[in-house]
Amino acid sequence: MMLRSIWALALATSIGGTLWAQSDSSSTAEDDFSQYDNLGFVDAGAKRFCSPKIEGLSPAKLISLGYDYQGAYNLSASNIFKIEDGTYAFDPNGQLTVISRGSQAKVNATYGVRAGFNIPVISKTNLVWQMGANYWNTQYAYDEPPTTESNLLHQTLSEHGLRTTGVNTTVFKPLSSKTFLLFQGSADLSGTYGIEFMPAQYLRYSAALIYGRRPTEKKQWGLGLARTYRVGEINYIPVVLYNSTDALNKWGAEVLFPARAHVRRTINPRNMLFAGYELEGQSYRLWRDPASGVDLRKEDLEIRRGEARFRMVYEFSLKDFIWLSVQAGYRLQYRFDVDRLVDGVEIYRAFGLLRDDSYAQNNVLGNPLYFNVSLNLVSP
Amino acid sequence: MLRKLSLWAASALIAVTSLNFELQESPGDKLIGVWEPSNGRSRIKIDKIGTKYYGRVVWLIEPNDPETNLPKTDKNNPDAALKNVPLKGYRMLKDFVYQTDGTWSEGTIYDPLNGSTYNCVIKMKDKNTLDIRGYIGVQALGRTDVWKRLATAPAKK
């Protein structure tokens, strides 16, 4: 009898062990979560690093396909003057030498596709590296199509529009649980080119390096230096990063000054409203197809486009990771002048502090309302 | 004498059964344990149920909702019926299967901060470090977080 009992016990233990292995291995005592309060890493040397994001930040866009539309405005193009050695050239009669006469025209709309993608290449606790590419196409719909008698700027914009194709990279290097370095770099080919790309010598490089701190999960800030074309021409400027979210996850700020600054209102994590501004700009090489009549390639002319966009943005999840972003606002021109590079070399004016070279053409644009809509795949 | 022999035999059987049980542990069971994501704001206990692995939130650095001062719930879950489920104890890793290539896949990870569920693959870099990659559709569209194993005995101070 005793023997039978022991065998039964042994059998039960064996079966019980097997059943246990097939059931939830979480113990019944797990609801006492206090046992997890005071645990340390198994690896004594394991370090904590801060993450690139803060809580409540709007989601990063992995893939974006959008459409940008500006309403009607007048574009007043001045004469295109000849520039020699950084100053206006004069003819034998003492008059400014003019390449193309100025004229004003009405632009009914400026519109185009904007596409971009960003893919994480390395995503580790101690290093995040992302690569991306973007394509922006801007077309100018004139009220009356410019003719060969019109100013060259109007002809060029009407026939070819402006295009930017670029690649970019972002590296986030946490130094500790509270400090980090952020590097952003891009190479853009901007101009009036079509299917035939411009040579790589016309690539324009931008970069920013920021040292930052992340004192809490809901705040990060940093200071750095940027080489940028955001106001149209090359500049080296200080930059300030500031992202924060309030304790209730309702309000926040997303700032990379001076490039952009927005106040964020989080309706819920899938619905966000923003108010603020962004500076946009590039230097566009005037590069026409010789077949169209006028070839500006040897003129070394570039449109220095810089503008501020004051706007409201609404971003929300359509379904899971597909987000729609709708923005509307006011486009304020800062610069749309044409510069002549000296022997193809960039002019660094430092807002007139270092050089005061004249522009080959000074243009004035009206300031229209605009809207932008984009469909985005957002990052985990 | 017979009784002693019987006891010895039973003990031996139990020992062999236990050993057999130990030997039957899958190599994937090395995932079982308590882990801390890189932001240090939560701790996840990974267990095995049947042949699959699951992870539950067992600790939060900020256990209470600052808005209500009550224990945090899954308030960002798009399913209204789940918004009141406590976050502590929430199963955020689900259905992971150990693969012959040494990874755990076919599972999902849930992010309570935005209420989204992602495909996920887990790789063990070393016995105390996990690469947890959440992704959308294809692994290229994702983000990796590094989790560290925690000692289940209280840390020395």
Backbone angles phi, psi at A147, to 5 degrees: -110, -175
CA distance A276 to chain B (A): 24
Q: What is the second-level CATH architecture of the domain B27-150?
A: Beta Barrel (2.40)
By the CB < 8 Å criterion, does A37 face chain B?
Answer: yes
Residue A289: inside a domain = yes
Nearest-CB residue to A38 (from B25, B136, B154): B154
Residues of A in contact with B116 (CB under 8 A): 320-321, 380
Q: How far apart are CA B93 and CA B112, in angstroms?
A: 11
Q: Which amino acid is at A54?
A: I
Nearest-CB residue to B113 (from A55, A126, A377): A55
Domain count across chain A: 1
Residues of A in contact with B48 (CB under 8 A): 21, 25
Q: From residue A232, how far is each of A163, A187, A206, A238, B89 by CA, in Å?
A: 14, 15, 12, 17, 54
By the CB < 8 Å criterion, does A377 face chain B?
Answer: yes
Residue A22: inside a domain = no
Residue A120: inside a domain = yes
Q: From residue A13, how far is each of A4, A131, A137, A263 by CA, in Å?
A: 14, 57, 73, 63
pLDDT tens, position by position, for chain A (380 residues)? 444 443 443 333 333 333 333 334 444 445 688 888 888 888 877 778 888 999 999 999 999 999 999 999 999 998 887 777 767 777 777 787 787 788 899 999 999 999 999 988 888 888 999 999 999 999 999 999 887 777 888 988 998 899 999 999 999 999 998 999 999 999 999 998 877 777 788 899 999 999 999 999 999 999 999 999 988 889 999 999 999 999 989 999 999 999 999 999 999 999 999 999 999 999 999 876 555 556 666 778 899 999 999 999 999 999 889 999 999 999 999 999 998 887 778 888 888 888 888 888 899 999 999 999 999 999 88
Beta bridge partners of A337: A304
Residue A32: inside a domain = no
Nearest-CB residue to A380 (from B54, B142, B154): B142
Tokens standing for A122?
């390395």
CA distance B106 to chain A (A): 17
Residue A29: inside a domain = no
By the CB < 8 Å criterion, does A12 face chain B?
Answer: no
Residue A53: inside a domain = no
Domain ranges of chain B: 27-150
Domain around A275: 61-378
Residue A10: inside a domain = no
By the CB < 8 Å criterion, does A5 face chain B?
Answer: no
β-strand pairing of A271-285 with A83-84: unpaired
CATH code of A78's domain: 2.40.160.40
Q: From residue A117, how far is each of A135, A199, A302, B29 by CA, in Å?
A: 9, 23, 27, 38
Local structure of residue A82 (DSSP, 8 states)? -
Does residue A273 sit in helix, strand or coil? strand
Residue A31: inside a domain = no
| Contact flag B17-A25 (C-beta cutoff 8 Å) | no
| Contact flag B143-A48 (C-beta cutoff 8 Å) | no
